[in-house]
């Protein structure tokens, strides 16, 4: 960039930007936006997807096809980036795509080597390929390290910024986080668009891999709109779709005109594409930008509203509908990308296993999901009846394997050690671990993957048995509070599901001792979930939570349970992430700690 040359030009930058925008309006350019479901490390499949989209773009008369962040290798590749062979295969894929750009240009995402021995060896880059050549490589500047992100572990941030000329346009090309450094408390010291705007671009393009949570679609739209209004330029924004282990990408790619108005919005939770005539995005008259706020759906509770209404927000229909789609995508992609076909789970007749079973049947097909009912001496007859009714309604195979015999055998084997000690948690957990063993035995024998049925309220408070009901290959509900599980069950039933009414209405119980109820060990779930959300998602301290109107004793009790059970969660399986702070890779707390315990 040549700051001295810019500052010496006649006329204001704003006036020159208006001239650039007016001239750009008459330059024809058709852009094909493509959001695709990539598979980390599956270079052949990812490249084939990109080439197929290029073929479609050519048939539709596009000049440029825009893909998403790290589309060549899939996002997030994590420590695969430390393998030289992985980077070599990224480069081979880029080279293969380059050879197919004689007519239609492509903007793709892939790592790029850093030739400078100083700093990290790689950049997270956007590549412009055209006419069989690499026309430009733009490096990502802002490398997030919060929540599920760890990009500065691998990548060097950009240290120079240049617009990309193409078809008479001057494109400000950025990568994901580069457009998020807005607001009163920005996370980074550099804002790439502040550097690029001095070079008189007329169009912004951002390629992203922005994970789903049930707030993020609104956040994304607002960030894109604020960039458009700040810089006076239209934006094309592409976002990845698909699930990579625990992280779900929801797509929803966006096109905004230079007045800050939403022009195109691609589908959520599935692959989609759109053709955009860039000339239609320059709508300002005489340099005037008309702000047209796009208010949040008035029927949708506001995240940062009255803290006493947080349960209403968490269980709102808009959020629950999105969560439903995210969980289905998470299950399908976990099984499909791993090459698995069949799932198994323990069906207790309770709400958690019922919702997990319904989701698995919808995602994989009921014929591919096996439920195992394992009543103990303390199981109620209606629990077995409810579980049977559920499987019959869903049409999935099920087995009934009573555990009274194995349970008595275990107690007999332990009697020399336990002696005359009274019945307690050890005997309760023996039942849970017998069930876990049975499920894993069947899974091993027939090639099933065990789905875990624990919810976020239980995981937060340690209300689960290690190597028992906490076993599994994938946690479906581990990022949903219990109140959200009930709301999701109602949503599934409204959509034609068949979760029996008795499962929805009966008091939740682990049924590991006579007349047991969850309320014997935990606060009522609305009160519990309110405290948990403030602490986990809101990162509030005890006094801040009490200030929202919660009893101080309840707050102390709940936070002690959360922090005392970090060791359990550290051994838990991957959790499909649907909130802004899920248990797993995005929440890193020490196990051996004394805070609030």
Please give the pLDDT value at position 4. Answer: 29
The span from the CA of 576 to the CA of 187, in Å, is: 27
CA distances from 213 to 148, 318, 326 (A): 12, 12, 9
**Which of the residues 30, 73, 151, 176 is marked catalytic?**
176
**What is the chain's mean pLDDT, rounded?**
92
The span from the CA of 62 to the CA of 76, in Å, is: 29
The span from the CA of 36 to the CA of 266, in Å, is: 11
Q: Evaluate whether 331 touches 575 at the Cβ level (below 8 Å).
A: no
The DSSP string of 419-484 is TTPPP-HHHHHHHHHHHHHHHHHHHHHHT-EEEE---HHHHHHT-S-TTTTT--SEESSTTS-HHH
- Range 423-441 average pLDDT: 96
The percentage of residues in the chain with a pLDDT greater than 90, rounded to a whole number, is 85
The residue ranges of every structural domain in the chain are: 19-281, 307-569
- 504-554: pLDDT as tens digits: 998 877 666 687 777 778 999 999 999 999 999 999 999 999 999 999 999
Please give the pLDDT value at position 215. Answer: 81
Distance of CA 54 to the CA centre of its chain: 27
Give me Rg for the CA atoms of the chain. Answer: 27
Please give the pLDDT value at position 221. Answer: 96
Q: Evaluate whether 163 touches 172 at the Cβ level (below 8 Å).
A: yes
Tell whether the model's pLDDT for residue 24 goes beyond 90: no
Please give the pLDDT value at position 25. Answer: 57
* Domain 307-569 in the same topology as domain 19-281: no
**Which of the residues 30, 73, 90, 140 is marked catalytic?**
140
73 is an active site residue? no
Residue ranges of alpha helices (H) inside 232-309 are none
Pairing of strands 449-452, 474-475: parallel
CA distances from 191 to 168, 225, 431 (A): 25, 16, 56
Q: Evaluate whether 458 touches 558 at the Cβ level (below 8 Å).
A: no
- 61-90: pLDDT as tens digits: 999 999 999 999 999 999 999 999 999 999
**Which of the residues 69, 151, 362, 458 is marked catalytic?**
69
Residue 196 Ramachandran class (φ > 0 left, ψ -120 to 50 alpha, else beta): alpha
69 is an active site residue? yes
Please give the pLDDT value at position 383. Answer: 86
Please give the pLDDT value at position 363. Answer: 98
The span from the CA of 218 to the CA of 443, in Å, is: 40
Place 2 in a pLDDT band, splitting at 50, 70 and 90. Answer: very low
The span from the CA of 132 to the CA of 102, in Å, is: 5
140 is an active site residue? yes
Pairing of strands 343-346, 449-452: parallel
Helix (H) or strand (E) holding 33: strand 30-35
Please give the pLDDT value at position 507. Answer: 83
Place 211 in a pLDDT band, splitting at 50, 70 and 90. Answer: very high
Phi then psi dihedrals of residue 116, to 5 deg: -80, 130
The two three-digit tokens of residue 434, written as one number:
């017998």
The span from the CA of 457 to the CA of 477, in Å, is: 10
Residue ranges of alpha helices (H) inside 565-597 are 566-569
Q: Evaluate whether 211 touches 249 at the Cβ level (below 8 Å).
A: yes
Please give the pLDDT value at position 184. Answer: 87
Picking from 154, 150, 125, 128, the residue whose alpha carbon sits closest to that of residue 139 is: 125
The span from the CA of 570 to the CA of 188, in Å, is: 31
Helix (H) or strand (E) holding 60: none
pTM of the predicted protein model: 0.93
Cβ-Cβ contacts under 8 Å for 83 (sequence gap 6 or more): none
Q: Evaluate whether 323 touches 575 at the Cβ level (below 8 Å).
A: no
Most confident of the ranges 106-110, 184-188, 425-429: 106-110
The DSSP string of 315-375 is T-HHHHHHHHHHHHHHHHHHHHHHT---EEEE--SSHHHHHHHHHHHHHH-GGGEEEEE--
The two three-digit tokens of residue 378, written as one number:
């303390």
State the DSSP code for 569: H
Question: What is the number of other CB atoms lying within 10 angstroms of the CB of residue 147?
Answer: 17
State the DSSP code for 297: P
- 134-185: pLDDT as tens digits: 999 999 999 999 999 999 999 999 999 999 999 999 999 999 999 999 988 8
- 245-302: pLDDT as tens digits: 999 999 999 999 999 999 999 999 999 999 999 999 998 854 655 555 555 554 455 5
Q: Evaluate whether 212 touches 225 at the Cβ level (below 8 Å).
A: no
The two three-digit tokens of residue 475, written as one number:
């946690």
Cβ-Cβ contacts under 8 Å for 409 (sequence gap 6 or more): none
Place 53 in a pLDDT band, splitting at 50, 70 and 90. Answer: very high
- 343-393: pLDDT as tens digits: 999 999 999 999 999 999 999 999 999 999 999 988 777 889 999 999 999
Residue ranges of alpha helices (H) inside 236-316 are 310-314
Tell whether the model's pLDDT for residue 11 goes beyond 80: no
CATH topology of domain 307-569: Rossmann fold (3.40.50)
Does residue 348 have a cis peptide bond before it, meaning omega lies within 30 degrees of 0?
no
Return the CATH number of 19-281, one of 3.60.110.10, 3.40.50.300, 3.40.1170.60, 3.40.190.170: 3.60.110.10
Please give the pLDDT value at position 529. Answer: 97
């Amino acid at each position: 960039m040549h700051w001295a040359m810019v500052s010496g030009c006649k006329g204001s930058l704003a006036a020159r930007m208006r001239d650039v925008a007016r001239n750009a309006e008459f330059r024809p350019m058709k852009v094909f936006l493509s959001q695709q479901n990539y598979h980390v490390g599956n270079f052949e499949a990812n490249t084939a997807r990109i080439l197929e989209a290029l073929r479609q773009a050519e048939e539709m008369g596009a000049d440029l096809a825009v893909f998403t962040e790290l589309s060549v290798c899939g996002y997030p590749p994590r420590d695969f980036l430390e393998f030289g062979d992985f980077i070599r295969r990224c480069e081979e894929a880029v080279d293969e795509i380059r050879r197919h750009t004689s007519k239609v240009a492509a903007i793709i995402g892939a790592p790029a080597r850093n030739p400078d021995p100083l700093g990290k060896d790689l950049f997270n880059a956007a590549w412009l390929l055209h006419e069989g050549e690499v026309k430009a490589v733009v490096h990502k500047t802002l490398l997030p390290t919060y929540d599920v992100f760890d990009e500065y572990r691998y990548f060097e941030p950009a240290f120079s910024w240049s617009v990309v000329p193409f078809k008479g346009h001057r494109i400000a090309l950025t990568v994901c986080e580069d457009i998020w450094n807005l607001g009163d408390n920005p996370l980074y010291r550099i804002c790439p668009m502040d550097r690029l705007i001095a070079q008189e671009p007329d169009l912004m393009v951002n390629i992203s891999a922005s994970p789903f949570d049930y707030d993020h679609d609104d956040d994304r739209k607002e960030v894109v709109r604020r960039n458009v209004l700040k810089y006076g330029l239209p934006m094309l924004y592409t976002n990845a779709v698909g699930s990579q282990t625990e992280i779900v990408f929801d797509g929803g790619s966006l096109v905004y005109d230079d007045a800050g108005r939403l022009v195109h919005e691609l589908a959520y939770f599935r692959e989609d594409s759109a053709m955009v005539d860039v000339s239609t995005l320059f709508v300002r008259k005489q340099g005037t930008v008309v702000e047209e706020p796009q208010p949040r759906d008035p029927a949708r509770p506001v995240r940062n509203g009255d803290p006493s209404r947080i349960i209403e927000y968490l269980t709102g229909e808009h959020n629950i509908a999105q969560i439903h789609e995210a969980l289905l995508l998470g299950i399908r992609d976990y099984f499909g990308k791993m090459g698995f076909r069949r799932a198994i789970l323990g069906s207790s007749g309770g709400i958690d296993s019922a919702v997990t079973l319904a989701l698995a049947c919808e995602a994989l097909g009921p014929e591919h999901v096996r439920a195992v009912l394992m009543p103990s001496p303390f199981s109620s007859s209606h629990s077995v009846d409810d579980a049977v009714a559920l499987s019959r309604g869903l049409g999935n195979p099920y087995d009934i394997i009573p555990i009274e015999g194995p349970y008595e055998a275990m107690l007999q084997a332990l009697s020399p050690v336990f002696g005359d000690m009274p019945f307690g948690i050890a005997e309760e957990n023996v039942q849970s671990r017998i069930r876990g063993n049975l499920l894993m035995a069947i899974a091993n024998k027939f090639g099933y993957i065990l789905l875990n049925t624990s919810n976020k309220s239980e995981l937060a408070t340690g209300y689960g048995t290690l190597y028992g009901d906490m076993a599994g290959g994938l946690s479906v509900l581990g990022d949903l509070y219990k109140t959200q599980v009930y709301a999701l069950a109602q949503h599934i039933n409204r959509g034609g599901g068949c979760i029996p009414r008795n499962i929805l209405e009966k008091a939740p119980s682990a049924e590991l001792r006579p007349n047991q109820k969850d309320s014997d060990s935990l606060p009522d779930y609305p009160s519990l979930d309110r405290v948990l959300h403030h602490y986990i998602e809101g990162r509030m301290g005890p006094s801040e939570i009490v200030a929202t109107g919660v009893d101080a004793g309840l707050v102390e009790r709940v936070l002690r349970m959360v922090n005392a059970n970090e060791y359990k969660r550290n051994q838990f399986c991957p959790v499909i992430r649907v909130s802004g702070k899920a248990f797993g890779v995005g929440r890193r707390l020490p196990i051996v700690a004394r805070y609030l315990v």
